[in-house]
Structure 1
Amino acid sequence: MTDPKFIELIEAATKEAEKAMLKFPQPNYVLLKIAEEAGEVVKEGVHCSEGRGDYKNLKTEITQVIAMLYRLHQEGDQTIGLEPIKNF
Structure 2
Amino acid sequence: MHNISFSGPKITTVSWSDWVKIYGYAKGDSSETLLEFDEVSICLEDAEAARKFADFAKACADEMAALGDDYDHVHFAGGETPDIIIARLPDVNI
Same fold by TM-score greater than 0.5: no
Given the two structures, how large is their TM-score scaled by the length of structure 2? 0.35
Q: Which structure features the higher share of helix residues?
A: 1
Which has the higher relative contact order, 1 or 2, with Cα contacts under 8 A spaced 6 or more apart? 1
Which structure has the greater CA radius of gyration?
2
